Structure 1
Amino acid sequence: MISVLFAVLTAISNGSASVLQRRAAATAPDSQSLSLALIGHLLRQRVWLAGIGLVIVAAVCQAVALATGPIAVVQPIFVIELPMTLLIASYVFRSALPRTAWYGVAAVTVGLAVGLGSAAPTGGSETVAGLSWVPALVITGIFEALLIAAARRTRKNARAALLGLAAACAYALTAALLKDAVARLEGGAGLTAFFTSWQLYATAVAGIGALFLLQNALQAGSLVASQPMLTLGDALISITYGVTLFGESVRTGWWLLPELLAVALITAGCLELARSPLAGGASPPKPRAR
């Protein structure tokens, strides 16, 4: 129960951060895409810095959630970050959500319930055994390289979608590394084992990489293109890490049918919600490159 609570808190923080970061990233020129100049531009935006503050809050909540629950349960809950963010924004700014947006909220909520109920993730170890990280990191690195290479050959929403999926993969990897690192706090060595584990520092590297990819995804195109890839990609890749690295189990066989239905509902809901003006943040036009 604690893991679910902190997963929900993580989703609220991450969703709010995505909207703030999208608003700031949309002001950057196309010439800064996939370069450190983009980060320099964003550091001068107060809205973006506020988003980073929420990212830090989300990281703390996520660590608690992963320390108390399976990754295959915690990460999929993050699909609610967009609907929860829109509901909060609607209340704060007194801007009523249209009926279609409420359909999107319902689709994501029902999809999550059906998906978790059908997959029923259980079991698993708290740490990753032996050298299992080696093939996982190699395969992840190749997958990320292919996505980034493909993104560089595209523009606008196609690039946003590819980079959104790349960011999702990096966030899923960050979660897996963080879970493995936090679990070492429970051992006899406690803090010593935690701060001397390579997983902790790999978590920082992966997290920075994920943040960089996300900013480029948000800068490249609309939230409609990047958000579904980010949301679903994070959930599905995290489940894969949970099963392959931590030995968690999910139901297969005929249970795949309601699981696929859940994915379809969540996808449709995210697409509808990402079209909302509240999700777009009323982004100003991008300046032209000089």
Structure 2
Amino acid sequence: MISVLFAVLTSISNACAAVLQRRAASTLPDSDAMRLSLIGHLLRKRVWLAGIGLVIVAAICQGVALATGPIAVVQPIFVIELPLTLLIASYAFRTRLVLSAWMGVAAVTIGLALGLGAAAPTGGTETVQGFSWLPALVITGIFEALVIAAALRTRRNTRAALLGLAAACAYALTAALLKDAVASLEEGAGIGAFFASWQLYATGVAGVGALFLLQNALQAGSLVASQPMLTLGDALISIVYGVTLYGESVRTGWWLLPALLAVALITAGCIELARSPLASGTSPRKRRAH
């Protein structure tokens, strides 16, 4: 399927971007946390700008994926971002992954297959009907405010995890808005209708907010803290948007048991993979040299 192919391409671009952005954000002082000056400092770092370039590529691929497939199918595929990044990084650094990292790759891969097989997302509409966006945006805003407020009362890895969750929700919202925006092209309304849709500009606002929250999550603590919340949060919240806004269906009942097992496998795999020095954008050779 085209949607699956472009979802995988999105995952590769996003995962590599996250590593580059983590390398840049980790060098900034805590005094920049949750301030616009954080972005100003990052703009002067070439590594971060390279990551932003990959984010743009990922956005284009994600738009194609969402235009050709249900959001409840496309977004969960993004959990493979970290395993793919580590495999690419191990090749680039000419370093073998240790057994625990391979086990993490296997856990995420099996968990994704099990989760999608159990949920079996199907159906849905191409656009959001009526005024359904209004309650969705209000609930999302309240959720984000509560999570960010809780994050500001904590420090380091706890803050990174909470901000990772806030970023995940913002990225899921971005995907839901983008799907609604590109639907105008699918319906033959033309490029003018696409650029006239409020969803397109809301996508931009949500995307910038998600990027800001992600940089703060990466700056606040380790990748081990932020990545699982970001990865799983994006997938699960996207499924909620798919079901509630687009009328997509997922299997429930006893199918929830293998779905929960899938979540556990993906969580364990992401935590194990995020511990790898390659996930933080550093070569094991360099780490041994210090």
Q: Per the shorter chain, which TM-score range?
A: over 0.9
Distance 1:281 1:251 in 2: 38
C-alpha distance in 2, partners of 1:188/1:12? 30
Paired residue for 2:282? 282
**Aligned equivalents of 1:81, 1:244: Cα separation in 2:** 26
Q: 1:68-91: per-residue Cα shift (whole Å, max 9, x none)?
A: 000000000000000000000101
Distance in 2 between the 1:240 and 1:190 partners? 29
- 1:56-135 matches, within 5 Å, as 56-135=56-135
Residue in structure 2 matched with residue 203 of structure 1 by the alignment = 203
Q: Whole-Å Cα distance in 2 between the matches of residues 95 and 15 of structure 1?
A: 18
Q: Deviations over 1:186-222 (max 9, x none)?
A: 2242112111000000000000000000000000000
How far apart are the structure 2 equivalents of 1:210 and 1:202? Answer: 12
Distance, in Å, in 2 between the alignment partners of 1:186 and 1:48 is 34
For 1:281 and 1:28, the matched residues in 2 are separated by 15
Q: CA deviation at 1:154?
A: 0.3
- Partner in structure 2 of residue 142 of structure 1: 142
Give the corresponding residue for 2:237. Answer: 237
Q: Which amino acid aligns with 2:210?
A: A
TM-score by length of 1: 0.97
Distance in 2, Cα, partners of 1:112 & 1:185: 30
- Give the TM-score taking structure 2 as reference length: 0.97
State yes or no: 1:2 paired with 2:6: no
Match of 1:288?
A: none
Structure 2 residue 178 is the aligned partner of structure 1 residue 178: yes
SS of the residue corresponding to residue 123 of structure 1 reads coil
2: CA distance, partners of 1:50 / 1:96: 25
Q: Percent identity at matched positions? A: 83
d(CA) in 2 for partners of 1:82, 1:26: 18
What is the match of residue 191 of structure 1? 191
- Distance in 2 (CA, whole Å) between partners of 1:188 and 1:47 is 40
TM-fit CA distance, 1:166: 0.1
Q: Secondary structure at the match of 2:102?
A: helix
2:47 corresponds to 1:47: yes
Structure 1: runs of 5 or more not aligned: 285-290
Q: Does 1:37 align with 2:33?
A: no
**Structure 2 residue matching 1:149: 3-state secondary structure:** helix
Contact map agreement 2:75 2:234 (CA 8 A) in 1: yes
How far off is 1:118 after superposition? 0.5
Deviations 1:12-34 (A, max 9, x none): 00000000000000000000000
What SS class does the counterpart of residue 67 from structure 1 fall into? helix
Shift of 1:282: 3.1
Whole-angstrom CA distance in 2 between matches of 1:186 and 1:123: 16
User: Unmatched 5+ residue regions in structure 2?
Assistant: none
> How many Å separate the matches in 2 of 1:80 and 1:188?
33
Tell me, in whole angstroms, the C-alpha distance in 1 between the residues paired with 2:94 and 2:33: 34
Whether the aligned pair in 1 keeps the contact of 2:67 and 2:186 (CA below 8 Å) is no
**How far apart in 1 are the matches of 2:42 and 2:196?**
32
Separation in 1, partners of 2:40, 2:192: 35
Deviations 1:114-151 (A, max 9, x none): 00000000000000000000000000000000011001
Kindly indicate whether the alpha-carbon contact (under 8 Å) linking 2:156 and 2:221 is maintained by their aligned counterparts in 1: yes
Runs of 4+ residues over 3 Å off in structure 1: none
One-letter amino acid of the structure 2 residue matched with residue 266 of structure 1: I
Distance 1:29 1:131 in 2: 43
Q: Deviations over 1:135-193 (max 9, x none)?
A: 00000000000011001100000000000000000000000000000011122421121
CA distance in 2 between partners of 1:34 and 1:276 (Å): 27
Q: Distance in 1 between the 2:282 and 2:90 partners? A: 14
Alignment-derived partner of residue 23 in structure 2: 23
The answer as to 2:258 corresponding to 1:258 is: yes
Q: CA deviation at 1:45?
A: 0.6
**Aligned letter for 1:133?**
W
